[in-house]
A and B are shown apart, each in its own frame.
Chain A
């Protein structure tokens, strides 16, 4: 077996890294959330004022619920898009490798480029509006396309669908093909085989994909910043402004800590469900 010194030597660098760059910042964040600001200066006075403010001021819950609604929509849409795609690729495509690469390629493109691309498509003299006017559906540019929660959902769905797709595809690839043959052998047609064998066995992947899409969208601040407009502001934008122009780090930290707690609770729940769903 390996000596204790060897194990320590191997484990130390990542542990130090995690301690310095992850645990310590979280610790500071938590501390900040219990302090206050007075006249543009930080006051190291322990209190729960920030958390009380989160509940009292209806703006924060409103934005949080909107963020969750947007993240939920993105999750549902990306599942609806990626589940059939993964099924087709895994079970029926002859050009699996090529199509797989096509799904993955957007991940190599910068997030900003993809967000700006939607700005070009949805803007008042963007691709979509020009097309609509050319075809004659409208005479004036449709304004609600850009700078709305709708635009944010669209963009985030585009950006995070590969994240939902990958675990679903992976779990489908892991389904032994003779399960499908066994189902057919026992008289099940394609639909029945899908619903009784493939679908239940790919649920853990779908759950992982949904978690990715939800958590990543929930914390997103660039898409709402670029194309969300005032009605599309999400919780991270509030945090950014509190740490920036508003200069209220303690309140920002309190929101961040609450959000972190929410996400951790969600991940814990997901793990419990996932254990129930997997059978190996």
Chain B
């Protein structure tokens, strides 16, 4: 295939990381990133993004919401009726 330009490499990045690219395209993309400082930097930030957003949006179930869920289900189903 033709040498990968940064832009076409970005278009393929998700498929690359998911391991669904044909072997020759995969190899061409790997070779491009290995020799392109900008793409290496881009890939690093592309991979970091989900982790950063994930860590920033972790929320725990508050006890009052859990209690409300049980009350709600008790009123509408046969569950949670035991003392």
Say whether A associates with B: no
Binding site for B on A (CB under 8 A): none
Binding site for A on B (CB under 8 A): none
